[in-house]
Structure 1
Amino acid sequence: MARATRSSDWGFPRWRAYGAEREAVKVRLCDRHGCEAPGDRPAPKSPNSPERWYFCETHAGEYNRNWNYFEGLTAEEAAQRESDERRDAGDFSESKHNSWAGPGDGTRSRDEIRALELLDLEVDSDFEAVRMAWRRLAKSNHPDVKPGDADAAKRFQAIQAAYDVLKTAEERRTWKPD
């Protein structure tokens, strides 16, 4: 004996449109007080906590702008956590050689960014701009140009160290295996 009603959900492809369920769909609202938008963007309530807030897109952006990952930690604890996470995140650097991304989009390390700031350059500067800035600053702060000036000697050493960091990073980026 055949059933009186037949479901149209059998097999693949589904024979009715997605989202056309007969049951009411439970929608979670944004956890921000007074907001009636759907809360479909989870955000952690505190570092290393499984509990989550659920915000709409606008309030998730506001929450992320004000998020401090190291809140409540001393400077030593924050430095320790950062070093632990850098050590644990080393596997992500395995795909660095693929060069999928260009400069200025997260491919530069923190040391490279500091070196670029020291040379008064933008994050997306190419190596030719780095070389020109290094030459300009090195000439103006060289100990032979300013003899006896201890501050100029320190600036020259910092400029040289920044150039070395950027040069090794550029060599690493442009190196191609045989």
Structure 2
Amino acid sequence: MNRPRRSIDWGFPRWRGYAGARETTTVRLCDRHGCDEPGDCPAPKAPNNPDRWYFCQRHAAEYNRKWDYFEGLDKEEAEARARTERQASAGYTEASHYGWAGSGDGSRSSDEMRALEVLGLEADADFEAIKKAWRAKAKEVHPDVNPGDEEAAKQFHACSLAYEVLRQAEERRQWRG
């Protein structure tokens, strides 16, 4: 006597497992010459162009490392494009008051990121680490410690400005709540 095969869908037709299919799947390979890994990371061939390269993760990282959004633009055009990008995405900033976003996740401005770079800190540094790094750097390059050294005076000035930018940003965050 032949028994009917038991189904694996428990009476719900869309609950079958994904591994149940027997047809072949096509895997797109990396567009980098000589690479045999799956190319599942799209990368633009040119700005404002729908054509894409499809790289593996390693080659996509290599490709994007040198990508410059403002390449080929002079300073005024780059500033105008950056301004329009900020205006287009300005509506998304109104959600920043919810307070779940922490530093290092895109909540810092480009000025803050440059200030952190001057002090030699990572993007997710808290304000205590910023104060500590500023004090150490200021002691190292202070004009009283290095009399007559123009380079040390410039570094001290840059560190002081960086600390001031970060201090004001922290005050704004505290004020917002």
TM-score over 0.5 for the alignment? Answer: yes
Deviation, structure 1 residue 174 = 2.1
Structure 2 residue 175 is matched with structure 1 residue 175: yes
- Measured in 1, the distance between the counterparts of 2:40 and 2:74 equals 33
Identity of aligned residues (%): 59
Shift of 1:111: 1.0
Give the whole-Å Cα distance in 1 for the aligned partners of 2:132 and 2:56: 46
Aligned to 1:107: 107
C-alpha change, 1:37 and 1:107, in structure 2 (3 Å) is: same
User: Which residue in the other structure is 1:21 paired with?
Assistant: 21
Partner of 2:93: 93
**Which stretch has the larger CA shift, 43-52 or 73-82?**
73-82
- Call closer, same or farther: CA 1:128–1:38 in 2, change over 3 Å: closer
Unaligned runs of 5+ in 2: 1-6, 145-149
Distance 2:15 2:124 in 1: 50
- 1:120 positional shift: 5.2
Structure 1 unaligned segments of length 5 or more: list them: 1-6, 143-149
Q: Secondary structure at the match of 1:38?
A: coil
- Structure 1 vs Structure 2 CA RMSD: 3.7
Partner amino acid for 1:82?
Answer: A
The alpha-carbon deviation at position 47 of structure 1 amounts to: 1.0
Residue of structure 2 equivalent to 1:81 = 81
Matched, 1:52 2:60: no
Kindly provide the CA deviation profile for residues 98-119 of structure 1, in whole angstroms up to 9, marking residues without a partner as x. 2323323332111112233445
TM-score, normalising length: structure 2: 0.68
How far apart are 1:51 and its partner, in Å? 1.0
- 1:161 offset after TM fit, Å? 4.5
Q: Does 1:63 align with 2:63?
A: yes
**Distance of 1:74 and 1:125 partners within structure 2:** 33
Question: In structure 1, the residue corresponding to 2:14 is in which secondary structure?
Answer: coil
Equivalent AA in structure 1 for residue 165 of structure 2: V
